[in-house]
Amino acid sequence: MWELWFLLLAGNFIAGNCIAESRNLNINHLDVTYGQQLRITMMGVTEKLEFTSVNTQQSYIIWSRNVQPKKGEVISSGEEKHFVINSVTFDDQGNYTEWNFWANVASVHVVKVLSKRRIQGCMPGKNLSISMDGLLKDDVKLQFFGKDFNLTMVERGLPVGNTQFGYWGRIHITTKTIQVLIVDGSDVGKYILSDRENNTVMTVTLSMSGCELNTTLRKLTHGQEFSIKLPIWFKKLEFSSMKENKSVIWPRCALPTRKYIKGSGYKRQFIIHPVTFNDQGTYTRWNYRDKVSSIYKLEVVYAVRIQDCEAGKTFRISLDGLAKENAMLRFTNGNSNITLVENGSPVGNSHNNFSERIQVTSSDIQVLNIGVSDMGNYTLTDDEGRKVKVVSPHIVWKGRELADMMERRKVDILCVQETRWKGSKARSIGAGFKLFYYGVDSKRNGVGVVLKEEFVRNVLEVKRVSDRVMSLKLEIEGVMLNVLSGYAPQVGCELEEKERFWSELDEVMESIPTGERVVIGADFNGHVGEGNTGDEEVMGKFGVKERNLEGQMVVDFAKRMDMAVVNTYFQKREEHRLTYKSGGRSTQVDYILCRRGNLKEISDCKVVVGESVARQHRMVVCRMTLLVCKMKRSKIEKKTKWWKLKKEECCVEFREKLRQALGGQVVLPDDWETTAEVIRETGRKVLGVSSGRRKEDKETWWWNEEVQDSIQRKRLAKKKWDMDRTEENRQEYKELQLRVKREVSKAKQKAYDKLYTRLDTREGEKDLYRLARQRDRDGKDVQQVRVIKDRDGRVLTSEESVQRRWKEYFEELMNEENERGKKE
């Protein structure tokens, strides 16, 4: 009984409070900016939330307990509940009524949505971007209210303003923004964005910092390209020179050859290429309302660059738009500062025979047959003495980098193709390696073979057949090894040229005795293909892709000469079988071949990834073991420096020490062996002895740690690009390539500057003669005759057989009867 009364009392109390609250209705006014968040905090007794739209006057329940809201969301925070709309629009304007448990109004929230207002700055010549703030593209309307005129730019998502004078093509619409391209002072004003019901969503006031036009500075080097965009809404382009002479350079009837219009419509551009000092000044773009749209100031500076050039080739210095008759060229290095060209004509000069090697054309100045002594700075100036460019030739030679790679990879013999080195010579490339090469044209072909120092002395014969085929014969502890380097014509070459290559290769192979070993390293420019069905005797199964006509020629040659295609016998993942990779193409065109009978001597063959010596081709490495006796190491012999006796002070000191050693005697003792030993010992003490080691390669003394570190970084960048061919990795590799070239050029220049300075001394003259002797020695194919041939042309290697052959030769030579004597 008491419990029942208690509940009734509590019920009457709550009802009474609700009635009291309904009599004092709570009304909240909320002003929310378009696109911002609306948050309504509901009372604890709220049972449901009703929305009445201002636009349609229709009401509906948007939320009730245990039911998901029709729009927005309800968030609980402790005992409170919040109704939230994250981004309000004009459709959300109206009354939000809270109803309690007893169907009475608990609270009313009157929501009003306000339009956005924003002041937006924009520099002249840039694009004005206005956000749609969630509006659908088809509902958008944009109006412009300026000082001189009003204009509807966009209507229902269409750029209707593009048809108006001065706005041709300047209004661009995306799904989220409206852009007014290349604004100027006439575009200052208010931009009102509205929805389909003409509700103002946003008002943007464009400010240009007092409409002041900023001048864009463009600094270019002499000879570069200068361009200015001139879409269809521009009327003219005006130029003011440094001497304040104004002229309209576009539109005009005719333009100089260096100045021209490219493209049309929106993509129209005015271009000057190459720019010269006469192009310096101010360029002003005018629109069709005769307003200045933008201003560009062009400043031209002289260029400083390092230019690659092969030794013995023509070094070209472009005039970059400079008239031939106005060109002057000076050459400077550590010891020289001379004029080579004046007023477009070569100046007579005996230094380095420049007067005979300078040619001037309408587009460039040429230095013929450039060499190391021509390294320095070439300064090109105009007729007013202004520097146009300073160019330093970089003698391109990757020989030292090649030697470093061979030393690091422990490669003894390397066949190189497409060298593009003209001549038939041999030369040292550093670290004891020697290059034998042959080339006719510096622009194509060329083959060569690089040998490690210990094998250079083993060269018996060098055959330079053509710029596509050459061979070396080596004798290694009695074993004859023939190394052939070949470069086959590419797929698009004439059939006659391909047949000539295979004929030359056949001729070389037929001239090699059957008992001698043969290894061919060549770029055959053909695909032997994957699989070996029908060709099991000459190749394995691990080729790449399908066979083509050039690949069939390789297989036919192997069958003809009883050779084997070594690459295809070793199972590797495809990345380690691809020998050529450029852009999106990758294939296998480089092969190593050996006699089938010697295939057992090869333990591995693979492609090395990550080396940067060659850009597109990859090095193919083959490990071959020859069954020969162990090579005898030459003993290091230390020599007494007797040549120091040419110096007066050394000669006097030696004479005094020798007299003391002989006990003060003026006459030498009768025992010559004792006397000789005393002289030798005194010479060793006074004059000193040599180390016995190989002297430093003077041709590559510029090779320092900085250059090696740069090449190492370039090699790692190449490896990274091979593994992940992204534009970022490619750009990094290209930048490191340029950096290596610059550092190599600087190192060479520094080394030769020291050499030029040293040449002025007596010691320097000796260094020069020593360097000349070294070059002459390195240029010889065979430095000493170690073996001879018998009557049948077979090479004799053993000491006994060589002596026997010499005996036979002299017996025949000395015992021949004179035919003339017989007749008499």
- For 231-277, what is the HEC assignment? CCCEEEEEEEECCCCEEEEECCCCCCCCEEEECCHHHCEEEECCCCH
What pLDDT shows up at residue 206? 87
**Mean pLDDT across the stretch 279-294?**
84
Neighbours of 345 (CB within 10 A): 12
Cα separation, 163 vs 583, whole angstroms: 45
Contact (CB, 8 A) for 105 and 59: no
Q: How confident is the model at residue 774 (pLDDT cuts 50, 70, 90)?
A: low
Res. 444: pLDDT tops 90: no
Q: Provide the percentage of residues in the chain whose pLDDT is more than 90.
A: 23
Structure tokens at 521: 């390293």
pLDDT bucket at 547, cuts 50 / 70 / 90: very high
Residue 447 has a pLDDT of 92
pLDDT per position as a tens digit, 482-508: 999 999 998 888 888 999 999 999 999
469 confidence band (pLDDT: 50, 70, 90): very high
CATH number for the 215-301 domain, one of 2.60.40.10, 3.30.565.10, 3.10.20.30, 3.40.50.10860? 2.60.40.10
pLDDT at 151 over 90: no
Residue 748, classed as helix, strand or coil, is: helix
> Bigger pLDDT: 74 or 245?
74
Mean pLDDT of 226-252: 83
The more confident residue out of 3 and 734 is: 734
The reported pLDDT for the residue numbered 159 is: 86
Q: Please determine, for residue 641, whether its predicted confidence score (pLDDT) is greater than 60.
A: yes
With a cut of 70, say whether residue 803 has pLDDT above it: yes
Q: Which two tokens stand for residue 587?
A: 């294939």
Rounded mean pLDDT, 435-449: 82
Say whether pLDDT at 555 is over 90. yes
**Under CATH, which architecture does the 312-395 domain have?**
Sandwich (2.60)
Top CATH class, 116-207: mainly beta
Instruction: Check whether 455 has a pLDDT greater than 80.
Output: yes
- List CB contacts of 541: < 8 A, sequence separation 6 or more: 530, 531, 532, 568
Per the prediction, the chain carries an average pLDDT of 81
Handedness of CA 121, 127, 132, 138 (dihedral sign): positive
- 3-class DSSP assignment, residue 13: helix
Q: Is the pLDDT assigned to residue 332 strictly greater than 60?
A: yes
Of all residues in the chain, the percent with pLDDT exceeding 70 is: 82
Euclidean distance between CA atoms 720 and 715, whole angstroms: 9
3-state secondary structure of 70: coil
Which of 25-29, 128-132, 398-402, 773-777 shows the lowest mean pLDDT across its residues? 773-777
What tokens appear for 101 in the block? Answer: 């448990």
- The mean pLDDT value for 782-794 works out to 68
Lowest-pLDDT range of 24-28, 370-374, 458-462, 582-586: 370-374
Q: pLDDT value at position 4?
A: 31
Against a cut of 0.85, is the pTM above it? no
Neighbours of 4 (CB within 10 A): 8
Is it true that domain 21-114 has CATH number 3.40.630.30? Answer: no
> Quick one: pLDDT at residue 8?
31
User: Rounded to an integer, what distance in angstroms lies between the CA atom of residue 728 and that of residue 731?
Assistant: 5
- Specify the fold of 399-624: Deoxyribonuclease I; Chain A (3.60.10)
Among the residue ranges 52-56, 111-115, 513-517, 753-757, the one predicted with the least confidence is 753-757
Mean pLDDT calculated for residue range 106-118: 91
Give pLDDT, residue 329. Answer: 92
Average pLDDT over residues 173-184: 86
Residue 15 pLDDT class (50, 70, 90 cuts): very low
Q: Residue ranges of the domains in the chain?
A: 21-114, 116-207, 215-301, 312-395, 399-624, 642-687, 698-775, 787-824
pLDDT value of position 761:
66
The answer to whether residue 40 scores a pLDDT higher than 50 is yes
Return the pLDDT at 20.
Answer: 36
pLDDT for res 397? 61
Instruction: Answer for the pair 329, 376: CB distance below 8 angstroms, yes or no.
Output: no
Q: Check: CB of residue 660 under 8 Å from CB of residue 707.
A: no
Quote the pLDDT of residue 19. 33
817 pLDDT higher than 80 = no
Of the candidates 256, 404, 381, the one whose C-alpha atom is nearest the C-alpha of residue 326 is 381
390-417 mean pLDDT:
82
In this prediction, residues 617-633 reach a mean pLDDT of 76
* Structure token pair of residue 321: 């738009």
How much is the pLDDT for 602?
A: 92
Q: State yes or no: pLDDT of 23 exceeds 50.
A: no
> What pLDDT score does 783 carry?
60
Residue 361, pLDDT above cutoff 50: yes
Residue 29 to residues 41, 45, 108, 113, 502: CA-CA distances in angstroms? 13, 21, 9, 11, 96
Q: Name the E strands within 69-140.
A: 73-77, 80-85, 94-100, 105-114, 116-121, 128-131
pLDDT reading at 3 higher than 50: no
Residue 11 is predicted with a pLDDT of 35
Long-range contacts, 464-470 (Cβ 8 Å, 24+): 464/424, 464/438, 465/504, 465/507, 465/508, 466/438, 466/440, 466/501, 466/504, 467/438, 467/439, 467/440, 467/441, 468/501, 468/504, 469/501, 469/504, 469/505, 469/508, 470/436, 470/437, 470/438
Q: Give the distance, in angstroms, between the CA of residue 113 and the centroid of all CA atoms in the same chain.
A: 57
As a whole number, mean pLDDT of residues 173-198 equals: 86
